[in-house]
């Protein structure tokens, strides 16, 4: 006996009600059940990779970098961090005179080219360091007495040969490094004693001829705040600009030590050079301490790093920050200042220290 249509609809509705009451889903026969595995996969989507220091700095239209040196290029773990965390690098020694012109008129760019190749492969900017410095000169230059007529063409040839080799490949050149004493008098280097103070303007002009697109810098330490030494640079740069000399940047090395206190007026000092119309870069930042390192010292160091980076961020024409290498493993400090060290944001095992986290926080990480 057949059912009526109304009876059939009634039984279907009753069946659905029973299913709901029993806690069962009334799904179409063609629907695929959702597996527990797929639901877990969707809820456990991978988190985005934390931004690097280089990426965080770019949000502020600045770079954040680390110097490096060739012996470190055998350390794969070190290179991985150097290439991934930083957007800029500086050859610590490979572009200095002793390395690039070890014999008169004989140039060797092997070490510097290695750093340049690494930077290119990792999309990093490069600061050139340094064309003229009183230190790390080859013996053939320092073991004799020069006349101005003899030294002038030697200096010009060195500057222009090195600058031309890297033409278009570096963003800055530290053309003259550490030209003043602490009291603001000229350092009596072989160049100053032989050629007089005009060697600085000549060096800048020669570098500009060789590479017109690189920004040309003067660079020094203990010029973080306003003092006799930074005043001397302020007067010099003001005069160079008035004379039409191509000077476009001032580098504050930023080699600090906890035992001497944090320099006052860093932001104000950066701003006054910016107001002269030049860029400012923090070029060799490290903050050493008397060993052993303690949690309190590391906390103070972290605060100093944060404050220095914050001072750069506060001035538009402060273009970037470079650590003088990023790990205590390769710091120059212990060899030069016995009993001191722990100066960098990564420890000797390449682990981030409180300073690293403080820098990240200032950059917005």
CB neighbours (10 Å) of residue 30? 5
At CA 60, angle to CA 117 and CA 178, rounded to 5?
60
Q: What is the CA radius of gyration of the chain?
A: 30
Active-site pick, 85, 101, 248, 284: 284
Catalytic-residue membership of 178: yes
Contact 357, 302 (CB under 8 A): yes
The answer to whether the CB of 270 falls within 8 A of the CB of 318 is yes
Catalytic residue among 85, 178, 248, 279: 178
For β-strands 340-341 and 279-290, DSSP reports them as antiparallel
Based on the residue annotation, tell me whether 150 is a catalytic residue of this protein: no
Residues that are catalytic: 178, 284
């Amino acid at each position: 006996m057949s059912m009526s249509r109304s009876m059939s609809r009634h039984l279907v509705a009753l069946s659905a009600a029973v299913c709901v009451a029993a806690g069962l889903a009334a799904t179409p026969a063609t629907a695929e059940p959702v597996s527990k595995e797929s639901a877990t996969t969707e809820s456990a989507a991978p988190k985005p990779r934390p931004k690097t220091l280089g990426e965080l700095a770019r949000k502020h239209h600045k770079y954040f970098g680390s110097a490096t040196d060739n012996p470190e290029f055998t350390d794969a773990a070190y290179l991985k961090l150097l290439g991934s965390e930083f957007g800029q690098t500086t050859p610590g020694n490979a572009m200095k005179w002793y390395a690039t012109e070890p014999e008169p008129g004989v140039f060797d760019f092997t070490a510097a080219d290695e750093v340049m190749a690494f930077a290119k492969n990792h999309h990093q900017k490069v600061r050139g360091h340094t064309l003229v410095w009183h230190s790390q000169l080859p013996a053939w230059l320092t073991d004799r007495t020069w006349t101005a007529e003899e030294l002038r063409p030697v200096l010009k040839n060195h500057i222009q040969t090195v600058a031309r080799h890297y033409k278009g490949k570096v963003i800055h050149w530290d053309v003259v490094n550490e030209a003043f004493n602490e009291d603001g008098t000229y350092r009596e280097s072989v160049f100053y004693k032989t050629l007089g103070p005009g060697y600085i303007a000549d060096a800048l002009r020669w570098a500009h001829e060789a590479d017109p697109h690189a920004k040309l810098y003067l660079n020094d330490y203990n010029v973080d705040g306003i003092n006799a030494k930074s005043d001397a640079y302020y007067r010099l740069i003001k005069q160079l600009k008035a004379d039409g000399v191509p000077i476009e940047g001032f580098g504050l090395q930023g080699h600090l030590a906890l035992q001497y206190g944090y320099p006052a007026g860093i932001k104000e000092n950066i701003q006054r050079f910016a107001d002269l119309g030049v860029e400012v870069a923090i070029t060799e930042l490290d903050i050493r301490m008397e060993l052993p390192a303690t949690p309190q010292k590391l906390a103070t160091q972290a605060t100093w790093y944060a404050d220095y980076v914050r001072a750069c961020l506060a001035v538009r024409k402060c273009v970037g920050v470079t650590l003088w290498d990023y790990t205590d493993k390769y710091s120059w400090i212990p060899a030069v200042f016995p009993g001191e060290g722990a100066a960098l944001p990564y420890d000797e095992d390449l682990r981030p220290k409180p300073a690293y986290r403080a820098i990240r926080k200032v950059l917005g990480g």
